[in-house]
Amino acid sequence: MTQITPTRLSDGRELIYFDATKEAAALHADPAAVADQRGLPPRGGTGDVRYDPLTGEWTAVAAHRQTRTHLPPADQCPLCPSTADNLSEIPASDYEVVVFENRFSSFGPALGELPDLQPANTGWGTTTSAFGRCEVVAFDSAHEGSFGSLPPERARTVIDAWAQRTEALSAMKGIRQVFPFENRGADIGVTLLHPHGQIYAYPFVTPRAALMGRAARRYFDAVDGRETLLGSVLKSERDSGERMVLEGKHFSAYVPFAARWPVEVHLVPHRHVPDIAALTHGEKDELTTLYLDLLARVDGMYSTPTPYIAAWHQAPLVPELREAGYLHLQLTSPRRAEDKLKFLAGSEAAMGAFINDTTPEQVAATLRAATFAGKETA
């Protein structure tokens, strides 16, 4: 049973320890052991979002993020446990899993509702507060690694943290979507080597989620709610087997038929659930095992660790999209060969029309044949 211990940093940001062992929980229950000694000034105000009338989308303006920490040396890592020489973002001398509000947040700390723009209003010039919340999830106290390098017991605690934070953030005023993710590798733009991920709680449904949500809703309505779109796709992929990578009792992983990225794998629960918080204990246990297996296979494709984005797609917190929404992971990598990356150029970046340089069937075959050998390089 994961023990949850909340506290506050010296600038008022929330920090939460997630501990699976009694020893760690006891340490973090001592107020003196988790007190932030830095005496930080009060955190800055909330940034802005601007409305783009040509697309109907919101863009966050977060110029303060230009000063965020970039690849610091190990003895100055802000995610390592605090020492006398390095008072970090995590005050305790050790920890298992920690979640805290991002010091360089794109959204929040203020919460609220975005304006409801009417169709007859272009929305030109509309600027409002970037309501929401951005959190950092430190997976482990070790300085280097990723989710795939975690021992199973630590990975399981991270999943508990994702579930708890999804439930808590979903209940906050104005939140429309909760998005846990991990960026892995310099080629993705990672600025900290410490194993970590993030959770964004948006005040709007993001463009990608809205597109997928509308497609799911159309299908759901067309079949009178008898099944979900993703559930039907999952069944088709399992029946075919051509692009399957892993199959368990509760989850399956496959390379999608119309994959956009050179490496793209979807990890999907067999049961229709909206988010990680809705998973049962047994489902979380199997997710731990299969996810670590999948990441090891992705690393096993080449002789060096594979850069990736691990994106947890959870159902938006909007009734018309949530009913048909279906939790799943989309893991993507721009790596199209050992020494080559897929860059988003004219067609992809400007038009959103992806051209894949690999075949989903061959990638699936490679992943099925891959072993855990890559795990040691994570």
List, by residue number, the catalytic residues: 196
In the three-class reduction of DSSP (H, G, I as helix; E, B as strand; rest coil), residue 145 is classed as: coil
Residue the block writes with tokens 């999948």? 294
Distance CA 58, CA 38 (A): 35
Q: Output b/e per residue, 168-177; b: 16+ Cβ within 10 A.
A: bbbebebbbb
Q: What's the start-to-end Cα distance of the chain, in Å? A: 28
Q: Are 79 and 87 in contact (CB under 8 A)?
A: no
Q: How many Cβ atoms from other residues are within 10 Å of residue 89's Cβ? A: 23
Nearest to 310 by CA among 175, 137, 84: 137
Nearest to 199 by CA among 232, 239, 226, 162: 162
Distance CA 295, CA 287 (A): 12
Distance CA 179, CA 325 (A): 14
Task: Tell me the H-state helices in the chain.
Answer: 22-28, 152-170, 207-222, 229-240, 281-299, 319-322, 351, 360-369
314: Cα separation from own chain's centroid: 10
Tell whether residue 272 is among the known ligand binding residues. Answer: no
Distance CA 48, CA 46 (A): 7
Sign of torsion over alpha carbons 65, 70, 74, 75: negative
Tell whether residue 134 is among the known ligand binding residues. Answer: no
Tell whether residue 143 is among the known ligand binding residues. Answer: yes
* Known binding-site positions for Zn(2+): 77, 80, 143, 194
Binding-site annotation: residue ranges: 77, 80, 143, 194
